């Protein structure tokens, strides 16, 4: 992990808390931000029952008292897979992914959900925040990603998904088979989305250290085509149990990106 100062740790935690609080306030009418209860049935009122649960609409129609019954919402489980490979060190992607992970951990704590950072299982909240703020945690190599034990958790993958096709298919197929749902949050630097480079530039492959000196204009269309193919491959998996969302690091406020994510779940 990279050493940081106490002030940087506090700043990281503050950013996470502010973004998460915004989400909590925005979702206060939703099932996730409400009383943790789901409507179950409406039964005749019995003396002594709490009148705040009276079904007044049904009373207006029948002139008889009924009480709405609720059942507690089951607590959710979250597993976060944080891509820490070399390609994520470009621009602000690594920091942005960790702000996202920290915010998800914060929200899970507030909601009483379980949350773990793959492959770790026993990190406490404070330990996780400290690790994330130091650019720690996550998976450095795709070969380390194996889902061997089926889980009812929702898996959230924070990555640029600049993976070889074989590894992309292996990991996503295994994830879909072993988790109740999968959210693929593709984090890119703004330049990677639009490829707004100009002139002759030395491009480095952060994974292999190979370098190429190219005219950026000559490779722009080929790059954007490959990016579109990758995003289409992720979009094709979109279903009830699979969700894909592209995020540009620091191109939009963290809290607004978080809100869009939870609103689309």
Could you tell me the CATH number of the domain that includes residue 116?
Answer: 3.40.50
Cα separations in angstroms, 58 against 22, 148, 212: 36, 50, 72
Q: Residue 77 forms beta bridges with which residues?
A: 114
Domain count, the chain: 2
Domain range for 155 is 6-28+75-264
Say what the pTM is.
Answer: 0.79
- For helices 93-111 and 125-133, give the axis angle rounded to 10 degrees: 170
> Could you tell me if 115 and 63 lie in one domain?
no
Residue 1 lies in a domain: no
Q: Compute the distance between CA of residue 248 and CA of residue 260 in angstroms, rounded to an integer.
A: 13
* Distance between first and last Cα of the chain: 32
> Could you tell me if 188 and 68 lie in one domain?
no
> Could you tell me if 223 and 243 lie in one domain?
yes
Q: Compute the distance between CA of residue 239 and CA of residue 244 in angstroms, rounded to an integer.
A: 9
CB atoms closer than 10 angstroms to residue 215 = 12
| Predicted confidence pLDDT, tens digits, the chain (265 residues) | 455 577 878 888 889 999 998 888 877 544 443 334 454 456 676 666 666 667 777 777 777 777 766 544 556 789 999 999 999 999 999 999 999 999 999 998 888 888 999 988 667 888 888 888 888 889 999 999 999 888 899 999 999 999 999 999 999 999 999 999 999 999 999 999 988 888 888 887 777 778 888 888 888 999 999 999 999 999 999 888 899 999 988 889 999 999 989 887 7
């Amino acid at each position: 992990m990279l050493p940081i100062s106490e002030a940087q740790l506090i700043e990281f935690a503050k950013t996470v808390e502010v973004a998460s609080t915004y989400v909590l306030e925005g979702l206060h009418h939703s099932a996730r931000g409400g009383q943790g209860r789901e409507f179950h049935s409406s039964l005749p009122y019995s003396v002594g029952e709490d009148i705040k649960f009276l079904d007044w609409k049904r009373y207006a129609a029948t002139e008889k008292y009924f009480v709405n019954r609720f059942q507690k919402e089951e607590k959710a489980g979250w597993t976060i897979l944080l891509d820490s490979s070399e390609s994520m060190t470009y621009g602000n992607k690594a920091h942005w992914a960790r702000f996202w992970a920290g915010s998800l951990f914060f929200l899970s704590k507030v909601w009483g959900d379980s949350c773990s950072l793959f492959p770790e299982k026993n990190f406490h909240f404070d330990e996780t925040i400290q690790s994330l703020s130091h650019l720690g945690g996550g998976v450095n190599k795709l070969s380390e990603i194996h889902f061997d034990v089926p889980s009812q958790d929702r898996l959230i993958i924070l990555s640029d998904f600049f993976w070889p096709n074989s590894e992309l298919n292996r990991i996503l197929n295994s994830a879909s088979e072993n988790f109740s749902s999968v959210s693929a949050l593709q984090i890119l630097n703004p330049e990677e989305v639009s490829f707004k480079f100009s002139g002759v530039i030395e491009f480095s492959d952060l994974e292999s250290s190979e370098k190429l000196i190219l005219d950026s204009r000559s490779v722009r269309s080929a790059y954007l085509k490959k990016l579109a193919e990758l995003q289409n491959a992720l979009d094709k998996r979109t279903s009830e149990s699979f969700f894909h969302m592209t995020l540009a690091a620091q191109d939009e406020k963290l809290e607004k990106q978080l809100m869009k994510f939870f609103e689309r779940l």
